[in-house]
Amino acid sequence: MGVEVRTEGVTKSFGSQRIWQDVSLTLPSGEVSALLGPSGTGKSVFLKSLIGLLRPERGSIFIDGTDITTCSNKELYEIRKLFGVLFQDGALFGSMHLFDNVAFPLREHTKKSESEIKKIVMEKLELTGLLGAEHKLPGEISGGMRKRAGLARALVLDPQIILVDEPDSGLDPVRTTYLAQLLIDINAQIDATILIVTHNINLARTVPDNIGMLFRRQLVMFGPREVLLTSDEPVVKQFLNGRMVGPIGMSEEKDEAQMAREQALADAGHYDSGTEEIEGIIPQMKAQPGMPFRQAVERRRQRVMEILHTLPHSAQVAIRESMEEEGQTQIMPAYTTEAGNSFDQTIRQNRANG
């Protein structure tokens, strides 16, 4: 099973430029999480910090209980073996065909025989749908295939943590969906902890168990997917609906005066995009038929039920409804809202109101 990743008060700067500060979150063991945010908010920097490529000025990063900010280089080398990383461009060696690219970590970090290496590499190529392409060079295949080859390479050491940086970069929506489905299927098969850094809204709405968002050098929120997807936080609603009106600007955050001017224009109909705001929770992507049962589903259900009373009311209702649809309500207590109504009553009222 994947291991827990936890950050406490992590702050990172480059010179005088603060990237983000006081970021605290926990990636639950074996679950799929996503980190969102506008371009330039330091999402990729966060990934590099988790594997020790960048060291924060303050705070701690715990990988399976070990603080990597205090590790020696030798200790950090061992901890990195827990990780598999899919970079934006796949980061393949252009002069090596796919087989050697995928085999590289095994030859570099293990003493396995070539026959063992071949067996593992072919398994990973099959898993990522690349059987038959093992003798092709990266320049001879599509961007989607390069992404999958990068994922195959990230999997050869049987990682307990998989970091995925902008999986949709350079891919069309259909191939992005195929790659997203592949990540869910892999989670079902190897039960690894997965963190996806993205600004793809469709992927964020359908894939992860948990979602976080970076903005204005802060972690706006992080938690079960329903918390962010039902949030009334202006920056979250603007980002999820791709609207111009809100705190996010073209190059940086807007000041209050600019936000007020744009809101007035929006109220006058100048920014009508022709689309309605997306309401409700889109069903989460499931592992394909024939895959093992995704163990994270049950672990997450139990974990979320323990913290349910601490979540916003809208998120509580969404969680209750989604679990009811999945037939999990027989083991869920009827928590009571602040208004004194049980979840069952609240759901019935919502349905009666359309």
Asked whether residue 278 is assigned to any structural domain, the reply reads: no
Residue 174 Ramachandran class (φ > 0 left, ψ -120 to 50 alpha, else beta): alpha
Per residue of the chain (354 residues), what is the pLDDT tens digit? Answer: 789 999 999 999 998 899 999 999 999 999 999 999 887 888 989 999 999 999 999 999 999 999 999 999 999 988 998 999 998 766 788 899 999 999 999 998 889 999 999 999 999 999 888 999 999 999 998 888 888 999 999 999 999 999 999 888 878 888 888 889 999 999 999 999 999 999 888 899 999 999 999 988 899 999 999 999 999 888 888 888 777 756 666 445 555 555 555 555 555 555 454 445 556 688 899 999 999 999 999 999 999 999 999 999 999 999 988 888 776 543 344 333 443 343 344 434 444 444
Q: What dihedral do alpha carbons 15, 21, 24, 30 form, nearest 10°?
A: -50
- Give the CATH number for residue 176: 3.40.50.300
User: Looking at the structure, do residues 162 and 262 belong to the same domain, yes or no?
Assistant: no
Asked whether residue 82 is assigned to any structural domain, the reply reads: yes
Residue 200 Ramachandran class (φ > 0 left, ψ -120 to 50 alpha, else beta): beta
User: Looking at the structure, do residues 208 and 331 belong to the same domain, yes or no?
Assistant: no
Asked whether residue 56 is assigned to any structural domain, the reply reads: yes
SS3 262: helix
What confidence tens digit (pLDDT) does each residue in 157-196 have? 999 999 999 888 878 888 888 889 999 999 999 999 999 9
DSSP codes joined into one string, 106-172? HHHH----HHHHHHHHHHHHHHTT-TT-TT--GGGS-HHHHHHHHHHHHHTT--SEEEEE-TTTT--
Asked whether residue 285 is assigned to any structural domain, the reply reads: no
User: Looking at the structure, do residues 332 and 220 belong to the same domain, yes or no?
Assistant: no
User: Looking at the structure, do residues 68 and 138 belong to the same domain, yes or no?
Assistant: yes
User: Looking at the structure, do residues 74 and 138 belong to the same domain, yes or no?
Assistant: yes
User: Looking at the structure, do residues 250 and 347 belong to the same domain, yes or no?
Assistant: no
Distance CA 82, CA 135 (A): 28
How many domains in the chain?
3
Asked whether residue 66 is assigned to any structural domain, the reply reads: yes
Asked whether residue 272 is assigned to any structural domain, the reply reads: no
Per-residue pLDDT at 161: 96
What confidence tens digit (pLDDT) does each residue in 199-212 have? 888 899 999 999 99
Per-residue pLDDT at 144: 85
User: Looking at the structure, do residues 98 and 55 belong to the same domain, yes or no?
Assistant: yes
Helix, strand and coil percent figures for the chain, each rounded to 5? 45, 20, 40
Q: Looking at this protein, which amino acid is placed at residue 285?
A: M
User: Looking at the structure, do residues 90 and 222 belong to the same domain, yes or no?
Assistant: yes
Asked whether residue 244 is assigned to any structural domain, the reply reads: yes
Domain span at 348: 295-352
> 214 has which bridge partners?
219
User: Looking at the structure, do residues 180 and 33 belong to the same domain, yes or no?
Assistant: yes
